[in-house]
Amino acid sequence: MIKLGRNDACWCGSGQKYKKCHYNFDSKIEQAEREGHEVPTHDLIKTPEQIEGIRKSAAINIAVLDYVAEHIKAGVTTEEIDRWVYEQTTQRGGIPAPLNYEGFPKSVCTSINEEVCHGIPDKNIVLKDGDIINVDCSTILNGYFSDSSRMFCIGEVSEEKKKLVQVAKECLDVGLKEVKPWGFLGDMGQAINDYAMAHGYTIVRQIGGHGIGLEFHEEPWVSYVSKRGTEMMMVPGMVFTIEPMVNMGTADIYEDEDNGWTIRTEDGKPSAQWEIQVLVTEDGYEILAY
């Protein structure tokens, strides 16, 4: 934390004196740190101007996924989905964040059935009746990042897969109830894990959510197999994703050796994931992207 005098200008850029702006806020965080809790640094707390920039980026992300929802169906290739995302994002003034990110070759991730995440679009991958697919979009607008994903059921999907997709969606709702200022990320993580397990599913352990806004992936890393009262304290101004990956079978996964990106379930059973981007507010949360 930056050490300021009570009459100094606040670190957040509001122009107000520290004592009238973030003094009590910082005191609360410092007390939690003295008690042994993990707390955010100032650079993880977004200013009102930054939040507005992230909202505008998120509006594009939402619109792109809405377009996908209107057009996705059996017979469509994942390469076509990639083209839709690129065109719809750039037409709105944005940049697809995944494109060339650490070498990722496409504008969107398309993960089908047993693919957990980071599926790479391909002209030879054709959606067929009975598939479930996660379409994960991320957008950059004027340097601000947004990120969300949705599941889609293609044609007639088995009841088993429908239930998995539904419970994965419900995991978000359960987790959101735990997003409260001065609570802990572990409160959310345990609620999600408990809910998934109660329905006979498992949560992927090695991959989680993340802070986002000024960069694609920021601190904190967000686990969904954590315990109440642990992990980073949630404070107003923090922005992160909630994106548990829910497996029908075991939680074990592996990375595709050929492309170095796609994550699959070890047992070959389906996986489902929905992702939202949330802002912690003074009285709860705001969903920025879905």
Give the CATH number, domain containing residue 218. Answer: 3.90.230.10
Q: Is residue 66 part of a domain?
A: yes
Q: Is residue 74 part of a domain?
A: yes
Q: Is residue 19 part of a domain?
A: no
**Overall domain count for the chain:** 1
Q: Is residue 14 part of a domain?
A: no
Nearest to 137 by CA among 125, 150, 120: 150
Q: Which domain holds residue 89?
A: 38-289
Q: Is residue 7 part of a domain?
A: no
pLDDT value, residue 3: 79
DSSP 254: E
Q: Is residue 28 part of a domain?
A: no
Nearest to 116 by CA among 290, 285, 267: 267
CA–chain centroid gap for 268, Å, is 24
Q: Is residue 24 part of a domain?
A: no
Is 97 in contact with 147 (CB distance < 8 Å)? yes
DSSP 274: -
pLDDT value, residue 47: 94
- Rounded-to-integer distance, Cα 247 and Cα 271, Å: 4
Q: Is residue 140 part of a domain?
A: yes
Nearest to 53 by CA among 218, 242, 280, 239: 239
Residue ranges, the chain, pLDDT below 70: 1-2
